[in-house]
Amino acid sequence: MKEFRNCLLKARDRCEDDEWALLNAREEIVRTMTPGEAYDALAEAVKLTEEQDRPFCFANCCWLILALARKADTTQFPPEALPIISSLKSKANLLHEQHELEEVLKWFRI
């Protein structure tokens, strides 16, 4: 997760130009994890999503959450992340990324 966070930070000023870097980082991170590690990383990925203030970064974090959930083969949302769902919804509305968050919430049946 630190690697993806660093990739996001480096891309902040040029997010739209770094689509492939973020995609490659996301795929590499998830590829190297076990299903258990992927599940354990979900809560941190949700919190990272909440921190984003750019639409492209927010969307990439949503995609990371979905990739981790697929790797973990779970629809169980991390309980420790439940309290920030309303904050995520507000952030998604602000950034006009409701669709990306909706995909996450549908996956977890929230």
Tell me the residue ranges of DSSP E strands in the chain. Answer: none
Give the domain range for residue 11.
Answer: 2-107
Give the pLDDT of the chain (110 residues) as one tens digit per residue.
Answer: 777 777 676 665 555 565 677 788 889 889 999 999 999 999 999 999 999 998 988 999 999 999 999 999 999 999 999 999 999 999 999 999 999 999 999 999 98
Q: So what's the pLDDT on residue 12? A: 57
Number of domains in the chain: 1
Q: So what's the pLDDT on residue 17? A: 61
- The SS3 assignment for 55 reads helix
Q: So what's the pLDDT on residue 32? A: 92
Q: So what's the pLDDT on residue 26? A: 87
